[in-house]
Structure 1
């Protein structure tokens, strides 16, 4: 029987969550956050910006995320606690840098359920126009919040079913696209290099910018590490789940983009760039395929919403436990379900307000700022903790891989839009002001930081 790890194995924390998640649960959790159908959110604009070479941008993004997934796994093995990016950076490098990494990822995790509320409500409203958009927002928010309050075990069971359904729809979509192409539609051939390299339109800048945009689809594999205190064997399973979920979704994204590009070669002619894959689904299999794809997108908002809200609540729990956020509020657990109920309700409230006031495009771009910033911190944490602090001089594992992860993420990060970078840095400044006030000008050190 596998050893049942407790937080006290590595930290001065008492075990507060139930360990119920297996490796399969963790992998599905990561896939549920990313969602197999994620290209539907960005395909039109991303395909147009890459001149039809989105498959190449997805490949680059996947490789970049794989390096970071490895680093997350390494740090989860060292510190199997809730808090993820925040906890790793805090303990490996510096407590204050840890706060800023957590603050950046907090923006990312806050925006995930927000954007899925928006997308889910939009498509649900399109299917059932009689029910207003704002009502759909409240319905989706109520379902996701209720499941998360009841507990992670119920959320895991729900994800198993929903991810399976989405996976089947994605495979059916790909098959129908290939079938239509083989019958003469689009490119008329199933083998083409153009989705990866079109000599007439190739531009390194376009591809890298596309890869930065494609990172949006991968945001979520890191959420697995927020469940370290609920995993049966965090040291063995977290790193495997992070890498495998990232790889599985990456292959699905690349093949979807490839199939869609073959069927609809001219990416400048979509009736609506926001609904490009729905038009492609309709071309591939008629109205029935388009409807099925729409239902799958609505389902994806539930899985991403469940995992996003859950991860954010546990990140806040970790920061509250360390007293860098108000402890009494952020560490409060439901007396029956043992879940961070105040954090979950706070996330629900923020997401509802944002879904009613903000545009989808702005939210999607801002997610990349927080996500890539957090990834850079975790890659750097592996180098500092393993290579320098523990002096494990394994050049490839503890230096080369995380260094490549850091460099790639940094390169993608600086290629985000000027608006995204401006708003992102404003968010970091707000965090700095909060930290300065809460520590009385950095004079009052939270207890967990003492001795670090």
Structure 2
């Protein structure tokens, strides 16, 4: 490979353990993620959101498995981009990375917006735009100082959110046992209520719940900074999905029992705050609000770090400007230009775009990336390597692809339109820079 010597100087520090990687993935998803969708999702599933989360967890673990299989054989940065590039086709890899880039760019953008909105609601005297700049400054500074610092910060913040979730569950259990909700602590109703069960509603709710898991894939962008990437990346992806899913299911379960009438929230957008207030009063509701703000910091740290690493990998392969995107900070060895670029994009987006618009676009990029990775497992292992293990390399990734494709085609027409425009821009850029797709990325010139 012609870039062996040059790439030797473009390496990131290996400092992340399995625990760091799992926490990183959970931090991206955020333990308190149900707060974002609970009201609408609980109503759409007729009070069976725990079942929807269970189905979503199983569905996402198919894709997590595929990410793990590809990370085991290609333990270097780039995630979706790298796997598709090396398993299927270098040019198709660019489009996979281009689509996923949309998702990674939008994650820190939307968390800036959500964090600033909740912070402004908590302290109205500080304007929204000030909160945006403050959150952006903290996240960007931590990421420039290094992934090791970001990992330690995430551990502290995830621990705090975990404590809040535990407190929330304890108060909910106390309310249930105390008889205030008029139901038993142990019941199958949140998973199956034969009087209200509608399959189409459960499927719709499961599709919605899947988006709480977006972010586990970010673990694979840190392969070059993992101490033992071949063993730890795939384990971390699956563990993050499993642990995150159980946390989501637990919160949804007790919340449903505390507030059985899912059509009677003061606002669907703040349903869990109503439940927190009922279970623990204003103090618990305020604590939950603070945890939501903290969750935006953890997701912002991981989102910004993942996007900057993806750009680093694409720059090293010269599908993006190598001089700019592979520049590392002389002291901290972090892709500082990429991090600052992400900061600027996120701040501008947070000031001028709407949360709903950004959230829908995230789904396009995330699901597209998941489909590419599932397809990469099938192509690489089953067809190229001729490893005829039907369950491992055909059935599981095939199910992962099918589920993601089903969710993808059910995105809103506007989301699909804008998403395909984004891909068209990528196509034009790639066509020009590769001279009609005749020039391969530098990494592949000698293959």
Q: TM-score, normalised by structure 2?
A: 0.96
**Is contact 2:90-2:441 (8 Å) kept?**
no
Q: Shift of the alpha carbon at 1:31? A: 0.8
* 1:39 alignment counterpart: 34
Question: Which residue, 298, 303, 308 being the options, matches 1:308?
Answer: 303
Q: Shift of the alpha carbon at 1:33? A: 0.7
Summarize deviations over 1:102-121 as a string: whole Å, max 9, x none: 11111111111011101111
Question: Which residue, 86, 101, 121 being the options, matches 1:126?
Answer: 121
Structure 1: how far apart are the matches of 2:238 and 2:128? Answer: 36
Structure 2: how far apart are the matches of 1:37 and 1:83? Answer: 27
* 2:346 alignment counterpart: 351
Structure 2: how far apart are the matches of 1:20 and 1:231? Answer: 6
Structure 2: how far apart are the matches of 1:385 and 1:299? Answer: 40
* 1:85 alignment counterpart: 80
Q: Shift of the alpha carbon at 1:185? A: 2.6
Structure 1: how far apart are the matches of 2:342 and 2:330? Answer: 19
Structure 1: how far apart are the matches of 2:260 and 2:42? Answer: 10
Question: Which residue, 161, 164, 168 being the options, matches 2:159?
Answer: 164
The answer as to 2:151 corresponding to 1:178 is no
Q: How many residues align?
A: 445
Structure 2: how far apart are the matches of 1:275 and 1:123? Answer: 11
The answer as to 2:270 corresponding to 1:296 is no
**Is contact 2:24-2:302 (8 Å) kept?**
yes
Please state whether the residue corresponding to 1:274 is helix, strand or coil: helix
Structure 2: how far apart are the matches of 1:204 and 1:97? Answer: 36
- Equivalent residue runs for 1:104-115 within 5 Å: 104-115=99-110
For structure 2, the 5+ residue unaligned runs are: none
CA 1:193–1:417: 2 relative to 1, 3 Å: farther
Structure 2: how far apart are the matches of 1:50 and 1:105? Answer: 29
Structure 2: how far apart are the matches of 1:114 and 1:185? Answer: 40
* 2:21 alignment counterpart: 26
**Is contact 1:209-1:416 (8 Å) kept?**
no
Question: Which residue, 329, 333, 339 being the options, matches 1:334?
Answer: 329
**Is contact 2:181-2:259 (8 Å) kept?**
yes
Q: Shift of the alpha carbon at 1:268? A: 1.7
* 2:246 alignment counterpart: 251
Structure 2: how far apart are the matches of 1:417 and 1:177? Answer: 35
Aligned-residue Cα RMSD (Å) equals: 1.8
Please state whether the residue corresponding to 1:228 is helix, strand or coil: helix
Summarize deviations over 1:311-356 as a string: whole Å, max 9, x none: 0000111111111111111111111111011111111111111111
Q: Shift of the alpha carbon at 1:239? A: 0.6
Q: Which moved more, 1:294-303 or 1:354-363?
A: 354-363
Question: Which residue, 222, 232, 237 being the options, matches 2:227?
Answer: 232
For structure 1, the 5+ residue unaligned runs are: 1-6
Question: Which residue, 109, 129, 133 being the options, matches 1:138?
Answer: 133
Q: Which moved more, 1:51-60 or 1:75-84?
A: 51-60
- Equivalent residue runs for 1:182-261 within 5 Å: 182-261=177-256
* 1:72 alignment counterpart: 67
Structure 1: how far apart are the matches of 2:27 and 2:386? Answer: 37
Q: Shift of the alpha carbon at 1:436? A: 1.7
**Is contact 1:208-1:412 (8 Å) kept?**
no
* 1:275 alignment counterpart: 270
CA 1:358–1:199: 2 relative to 1, 3 Å: farther
**Is contact 1:215-1:368 (8 Å) kept?**
no
Please state whether the residue corresponding to 2:225 is helix, strand or coil: coil
Q: Shift of the alpha carbon at 1:198? A: 2.7
Q: Shift of the alpha carbon at 1:14? A: 5.3
Structure 2: how far apart are the matches of 1:295 and 1:225? Answer: 29
Q: TM-score, normalised by structure 1?
A: 0.95
Structure 1: how far apart are the matches of 2:424 and 2:186? Answer: 49
Structure 1: how far apart are the matches of 2:333 and 2:45? Answer: 46
Question: Which residue, 72, 87, 94 being the options, matches 2:89?
Answer: 94
Question: Which residue, 142, 146, 150 being the options, matches 1:151?
Answer: 146
* 1:4 alignment counterpart: none
Q: Shift of the alpha carbon at 1:365? A: 2.2
Please state whether the residue corresponding to 1:334 is helix, strand or coil: coil
Q: Which moved more, 1:81-90 or 1:319-328?
A: 319-328
Q: Shift of the alpha carbon at 1:422? A: 2.2
Please state whether the residue corresponding to 1:380 is helix, strand or coil: helix
